[in-house]
Chain A
């Protein structure tokens, strides 16, 4: 008999399952709105020009393949910190931070979670917004932490339940960990306004909470990297020493290259050194040292003025296309004669949109129209094109009228 007789079959990943079903569908009008990856207006993956240029530079330099340090490529981690914090940030200039290269957003979140489990003895509780990215819960759980929630999304208005959030957060036990999405909240697309961020910063400071920012869409949300990092920078300016996970999967289209970073804002340089040494101790038994390719591409882009400028234009281009698809979807729904209020589609920001569709309506969209999305009514606006937005509006109207 086998050692593994008692091993249960793991449930299929809810998001991958959507893509599997999409692939099997033979309807020529089919749409995949599950995928969390950018598509151009032809529905194709988009390799950024600045990425191709960086790759050409790399190819011409004929570099070796020696192991990176455990903490990753120094030029990359420094540029990553500067991108998030801003070049004028006191925390950045003083050097009172440590940034290590992580395996895109997931790997960076996990390193941080493991670090907090080992060294943040004040609490085992991580407070997540309701709802949040599906992988947050298992990441923190596997790291050995416990999950709690605070109100965030109001399904009645398809927008932020700000009073509910403030109410819940004001009751979180001191020194707990709270996770915030820096911009382009996944899955709802609902972000606080700057005035609301100010109040959130004040309340978490009052409650003495450890703030963990997840920033997977800097630049990709509004098209402006500084605007998208505003909350992160404001919290730090208010004296809140945050921890931060960054991803370059979406904003540089480096998905499969796994480029990301984890940052701890510290009291001073000496503390940053101690924290860094412990992060390395966590990373070494996980995968020894990180993969170079994606980090090197990102580093060349961030550190080469011309390429950086080009990148900013391209990431704005992606954000603008998303915003334009939101606008077109709403206007097409109006054209279809829908009497519902679809304003949340254009109010929300980033790759995803919480349409407000119910599971049975989603089921109909899948079965009758071959439009694939997750059961919670979340669509990836990146999967919408000028060629299929009318069809999408038509289908949504059919299932909601």
Chain B
């Protein structure tokens, strides 16, 4: 038999965050803690299906008028409208002026990809693969891959995390924006920056917006934690809404994986804000073509759950409550971890643990200290020092705090 056409296919390295979970699963140590992958856990360390989701699923299951027919290419209309409304606000001028569009996508990743594919084809000329795309340093590692696979050739970083002061490097960020070529695309985390948990303040966002407006830079928001970060939908959408009020045309990739706990249903939405209805309609018509060759039409189950919930005032209130439950537990774990580290007298300052927001915290642990945590203490976290606060529970807080203390004092 002739040699295989795939004989030369190299073995790709596993995606780091999933490898971490795989290693955690294989670990037989009773003390093990998984602070890796970004999914919510209860205080018992269990996944949590939101009560409102369970309720709505039962409604859907007992509704015999529902079937499994194809959704339209752009998705379930009630989902799209409600999802964008959540991001932009009930009183959004863009919605009132009918200059927004929505594309139901497979999770936040799918929304980013469809947006990226559209931009590569239609932004800054036709098929301009040379338009620079700026990703924060650091950022969710998949951002780079999404834009590369969409065809962009020039992916750059912008200053974001200041490791020395453990906070936002605003000066570096603004400097990069001043120097970026006009029309560059900037991926902005709407709230709860992944992996640092460090967000610009409203005042800092205003400065960012001013530079971006002056330099004609395109804002592509990634909103994966609305509601989950602070417990308030409005607060977590402040930056996106501010940009809209400043007259920007923008994209916002929304994920409902975390705030609805619908991870495996792949529920996402790409919100498009344009100058007027006509522009938005043409944009959507081209997005349809992109969707058609990627997945034809999106999965219906998750979108139905979200649409039903958002459209009912009572269910919406229940959902809001569920979201707050998650956000509050995360806030509690932050304050508990910080107070333990301070009590232990662990070297360094630890206020960043409570200053940061959302699921993740950039602890400041270096790769050697991280390796110690994994190998010696069976506590799994990313090499960057990123921990998922949801992996902390009242039962393991002491052990984790002590382990961090050991790592910091024993390993330099």
Q: Are B264 and A13 in contact, CB atoms less than 8 angstroms apart?
A: no
Given contacts A13-B73, A110-B294, A241-B4, contact A292 B61 (CB under 8 A): no
Question: Interface centre among A67, A105, A208, by most B CB within 10 Å?
Answer: A67
A47-58: CB near B (< 8 Å → 1, else 0) gives: 100010001100
Closest chain A residue to B106 by CB distance?
A287
Q: Complex formed: what's the CA distance from A287 to B107 in Å?
A: 7
B328 within 8 A of A: no
**Of the 9-residue stretches A2-10, A182-190, A218-226, A332-340, which lies at the interface with chain B?**
A2-10
A203 within 8 A of B: no
Q: Are B61 and A282 in contact, CB atoms less than 8 angstroms apart?
A: no
A139 within 8 A of B: yes
B11-30: CB near A (< 8 Å → 1, else 0) gives: 11111001000000000000
Question: Interface centre among B285, B292, B296, by most A CB within 10 Å?
Answer: B296
Q: Report the minimal beta-carbon distance from B395 to chain A, rounded to whole angstroms.
A: 20
Q: How many residues of A sit at the interface, in one of the four size bands?
A: 35 or more
B274 within 8 A of A: yes
Chain B residues with Cβ below 8 Å from A110 are 293-295
Q: Report the minimal beta-carbon distance from B279 to chain A, rounded to whole angstroms.
A: 4
**DSSP majority for the B interface?**
loop
Q: Complex formed: what's the CA distance from A110 to B106 in Å?
A: 15
B91 within 8 A of A: no
Q: Are A9 and B149 in contact, CB atoms less than 8 angstroms apart?
A: no
Chain B residues with Cβ below 8 Å from A195 are none
B118-150: CB near A (< 8 Å → 1, else 0) gives: 000011101000000000000000100110110
Closest chain A residue to B286 by CB distance?
A10
Closest chain A residue to B250 by CB distance?
A3
B218 within 8 A of A: yes
B69-110: CB near A (< 8 Å → 1, else 0) gives: 111110000000000000000000000000000000111011
Chain B residues with Cβ below 8 Å from A249 are 70
B261-298: CB near A (< 8 Å → 1, else 0) gives: 11111100000001110011111011011101111111
Chain A residues with Cβ below 8 Å from B53 are 65
Closest chain B residue to A273 by CB distance?
B11
Q: Are A5 and B4 in contact, CB atoms less than 8 angstroms apart?
A: no
Q: Complex formed: what's the CA distance from A210 to B5 in Å?
A: 9
Q: Are B289 and A119 in contact, CB atoms less than 8 angstroms apart?
A: no
Given contacts A3-B218, A266-B4, contact A66 B263 (CB under 8 A): yes
Given contacts A13-B288, A267-B6, contact A293 B275 (CB under 8 A): no
Binding site for B on A (CB under 8 A): 1-10, 13, 16, 37, 45, 47, 51, 55-56, 59, 62, 64-70, 103-107, 110, 119-120, 122, 135, 138-139, 141-142, 175, 208, 210, 239, 241, 249, 253-258, 264, 266-267, 271, 273-275, 277-278, 280-282, 284-294
Nearest 5 pairs of A and B residues by beta carbon:
A287-B106, A10-B285, A285-B145, A106-B296, A256-B300
Binding site for A on B (CB under 8 A): 1-2, 4-15, 18, 37, 39, 46-47, 49, 53-54, 57-58, 61, 67-73, 105-107, 109-110, 113, 122-124, 126, 142, 145-146, 148-149, 218, 249, 257, 261-266, 274-276, 279-283, 285-286, 288-290, 292-302
Q: List 8 A-B contacts (CB under 8 A).
A: A37-B69, A37-B70, A67-B263, A141-B293, A271-B9, A277-B11, A278-B12, A293-B302
Q: A67-B39, A256-B71 are in contact. List 17 more A-B contacts (CB 8 A).
A: A13-B73, A37-B69, A45-B67, A59-B57, A65-B53, A67-B257, A67-B264, A103-B299, A106-B294, A106-B296, A139-B293, A142-B290, A175-B5, A254-B68, A285-B109, A291-B264, A294-B301
